[in-house]
């Protein structure tokens, strides 16, 4: 099982309703291709984890990378793993702005995470801890 994490910045014209529409199509595609993962969104910044068979993840990422609705697409980490972190989700979506306050507190300041995301390049443990925590919050908050 292969996983890839990247971050990017949404273009101005990529408004929330378009993001939700994209997500719905993405979930259909991902379910069909056994791709799971998580898309975090806040303040125009995306952080996405994709999991699945390597050729499928790479080919999806190539499409995502050339998607004109976002820019500054930067791969933070690629990894072979035993298990999926988001085995239940074709693409969990997480807009920090819409979270319950308790959940926001639990995760702390999102900007810190986007800055810290550089560290994903180096640390497998940090990646597991971070996305493990995201998964717990998603299980709690039924979004």
Ligand X SMILES: Cc1cc2nc3c(=O)[nH]c(=O)nc-3n(C[C@H](O)[C@H](O)[C@H](O)COP(=O)(O)O)c2cc1C
- Give the residues lining the site for ligand X (CB under 6 A): 8, 22, 26, 29-30, 39, 46, 48, 60, 63-64, 67, 69-70, 91
- Round to whole Å and give the CA distance between 129 and 44: 24
Of residues 36 and 127, the one with the C-beta less far from ligand X? 36
* Min dist. Cβ of residue 68 to ligand X (A): 9
Residue 14 CB, nearest approach to ligand X (Å): 7
Query: What phi, psi does 44 have (nearest 5°)?
Result: 70, 5
Rounded to a whole number of angstroms, the minimum distance from the CB of residue 76 to ligand X is 14
* Sign of the torsion formed by the C-alpha atoms of 128, 16, 30 and 136: positive
Nearer residue to ligand X within complex by CB, 32 or 125:
32
The span from the CA of 8 to the CA of 143, in Å, is: 23
């Amino acid at each position: 099982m292969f996983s890839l994490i990247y971050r990017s910045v949404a273009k101005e014209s990529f408004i929330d309703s378009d993001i939700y529409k994209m997500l719905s199509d993405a979930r259909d595609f991902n379910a069909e291709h056994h791709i799971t993962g998580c898309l975090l969104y806040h303040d125009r910044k995306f952080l996405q984890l994709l999991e699945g068979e390597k050729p499928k993840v790479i080919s999806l990422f190539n499409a995502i990378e050339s998607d004109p609705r976002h820019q500054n697409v930067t791969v933070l980490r690629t990894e072979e793993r035993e298990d999926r972190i988001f085995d239940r989700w074709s693409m969990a979506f997480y807009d920090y702005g819409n979270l319950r306050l308790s959940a926001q507190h639990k995760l702390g300041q999102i900007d810190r995470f986007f800055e810290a995301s550089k560290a994903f390049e180096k640390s497998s443990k940090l990646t597991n801890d971070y996305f493990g925590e995201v998964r717990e919050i998603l299980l709690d908050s039924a979004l």
